Structure 1
Amino acid sequence: MPNTAKRLTPEYELVKDNGTIRYQEHGYPSELIRWHAHNDYELHYIVATSGKVFIGDYIGNYSAGQLILTGPRLPHNWICQNDQKAVELRDMIIRFDHESFSLGMKILPELAEILPLLAKAKSGIEFLNLDHQYLRKSFEAVRESSGLNRLTLALPLLQYLAQSKDYRLLSTVQIDLKSNENLQRKINTVVDYVTQHYDQDISLADVSSLIGMSDSHFSRFFKKATGNRFIEFVNRVRISRACNLLTETDNQIANICYQVGFNNVANFNRRFHELKGVTPREFRSQSEINNKVFALFSAEKQ
């Protein structure tokens, strides 16, 4: 039988399970749908609804079938859009912590096979073109099991993902303030504000006042917490959204520049190249080529 002692997870909720592998699920609407961070890895399998996904400084679209692994202290949220109807099951979640696996590797060195997967999870990983029948059965099997049986069912799934070559990293910022939850809440307030207002003018004074700090104190605080100057973080969020618009719409690049909050096309192109290594036009061209290749590959498999 699983241990039913309550386990407090900061900035999230009580989890009634102390096992190595823990399972949760929720529908929509749910009080669990909010911007949050915690100490666990989480593997999210979205089975219903669509909308916007926020992972650190990444903003993108989500729909049923999306699979994302988030690392410890990486803020995230999935927000439904278009007044979608309530559903009983939206998100199936497998949770585990780093300590269990790091200690387990001393006894079972084979567990080291998933170390690269855990390292990449600091940025959030979206897995692409997976076997969804296998995924659904795997999550359901973990849900219906407990104890050692649950662990032996989850490990093949983690191995499968560790071997996957078809994925993308999402966030360029990893936020880590686990030693002080009050500071974590302040950072979450700032990140939430930026991800909701990236298309508007965002001043340092406006944001620092949100958490009761002077401009200079906030600048030092944010840099220490995220490794980025505040303006760098804002630019990363805006460029992330621009990438979505470049791949998902036919909007002119100049229009996208202003849609994501830049007020100068030359500055937008410069910042985009700094972060992505290509110009917005080159990024769009590469995405179109990749989409055509994938369409041909999918057609051949059918």
Structure 2
Amino acid sequence: MKPLLFKVPAVDDRCFRLEQDNLSHFYGHLHFHPEIQLTLIREGEGTLIVGDKIDRFGRNDILMLGSNLPHVLRNDPDYFLPQSTRRSASVSVLFRAEQLEQTVLNMPETRHLLILLSESQHGIRFRCQEGHPLIAKFEALPLQRPFDQLLTLLSMLDYMAVNDGREMLSVSAFTQPQRPEDHQRLERVFAYMLENYHSPITLEDVASRANLTPGAFCRFFRQHTRKTFSTLLNEVRVEHACRNLRESKQTISQIAFACGYTNLSNFNRQFKEIMGMSPGQYIRRYNASPGVALEGHSL
């Protein structure tokens, strides 16, 4: 397995790097890098893992991922089908915090941005709509010369620092990379869970993917995610159930079984615990306000 320390290629001595991706799917492995990453999702949706947070990502999400913060944008399964025409597109700015801290952020007028950089160790998200000022700034970046790109980057950071609406993602902050073998274990477990959530998964199944005994795996998983594996598995299943409730014409029972639940009462109980409402209430609220994100308590 490739090491999960992701090295961002540098082509010159600039303090930031602009990247544009337009692919069938995003890079699907849990990874981290020393650069802070600021990303606009232009197109694509799937499961977002940032530190100990698991949730959905979608079009017009803006993410700020701190230095060495483990993360992955894993597209939904239909993106990987041979006949799929779905695309995943993004614009990202990657930069080293220390380079800005030693220069432009070392002034009274910009020191408020240091708080934002500190918060990025938890991961930050802005859920935006078309026409949002941050989206316009991202869209302008590829056409600008480097000096104007730097000004735009500072302007984006300023907007994110002084405006409400930013969402903290991970409860835990990650300031130093963990052991590579720990990342590899987590990556194998997350990949297995996301590929098999719709089927029965036992503790022995996932422990074997991490090459640990069930008892050692439980301790390892809680240490690195602050959750039990069963809690995270239920969050993944409910997250996919929410998508099916919004987008499919299946009954609640059919969706429950398709998401790995073997009885409806357990599904209803887990759904209400995570989302704060029953599946029926969820779909009624969504139909009453289509396009509005419905956030749960634990995801």
* Residues 76 and 276 of structure 1, relative CA distance in 2, 3 Å threshold: same
Larger relative helix fraction: 1
**Structure 2 equivalent of residue 290 of structure 1:** 289
Matched, 1:190 2:189: yes
CA contact (8 A) 2:4 2:184 kept: no
**Structure 1 equivalent of residue 73 of structure 2:** 77
CA contact (8 A) 1:59 1:241 kept: no
**Structure 1 equivalent of residue 138 of structure 2:** 138
Deviates more, 1:225-234 or 1:179-188: 179-188
Q: How many residue pairs end up in the alignment?
A: 279
**Structure 2 equivalent of residue 298 of structure 1:** none
Give distance in 1, aligned partners of 2:223 and 2:91. 34
CA contact (8 A) 2:113 2:157 kept: no
**Structure 1 equivalent of residue 243 of structure 2:** 244
Q: TM-score of the superposition, structure 1-length normalised?
A: 0.74
Give distance in 1, aligned partners of 2:226 and 2:115. 23
Q: Match of 1:15, SS?
A: coil
**Unmatched 5+ stretches in structure 2:** 294-299
* Residues 119 and 241 of structure 1, relative CA distance in 2, 3 Å threshold: farther
Q: 2:21 aligns with which of 26, 31, 39?
A: 26
* Residues 139 and 115 of structure 1, relative CA distance in 2, 3 Å threshold: farther
CA contact (8 A) 2:40 2:138 kept: no
Sequence identity, in percent? 19
Give distance in 1, aligned partners of 2:258 and 2:220. 29
* Residues 112 and 60 of structure 1, relative CA distance in 2, 3 Å threshold: same
Q: TM-score of the superposition, structure 2-length normalised?
A: 0.75
Q: Match of 1:184, SS?
A: helix
Q: How does 1:58-77 map to 2 (within 5 A)?
A: 58=54, 60=56, 62=58, 65-72=59-66, 73-77=69-73
Give distance in 2, aligned partners of 1:46 and 1:292. 17
CA contact (8 A) 2:40 2:60 kept: yes
What residue identity is the alignment partner of 2:19? Q
Q: Deviations over 1:78-112 (max 9, x none)?
A: 4335534698x932212245556777766436443
Q: 1:75: Cα distance to partner?
A: 2.0
Q: 1:21: Cα distance to partner?
A: 3.6
**Structure 1 equivalent of residue 32 of structure 2:** 38
Q: How does 1:165-184 map to 2 (within 5 A)?
A: 176=174, 178-184=177-183
* Residues 199 and 29 of structure 1, relative CA distance in 2, 3 Å threshold: closer
Q: Quote the RMSD (CA, aligned, Å).
A: 3.7
Q: 1:270: Cα distance to partner?
A: 1.3
Give distance in 2, aligned partners of 1:253 and 1:191. 26
**Unmatched 5+ stretches in structure 1:** 1-8, 295-302
Give distance in 2, aligned partners of 1:164 and 1:276. 27
Q: Deviations over 1:129-166 (max 9, x none)?
A: 131697355344267443x6433211222334456666
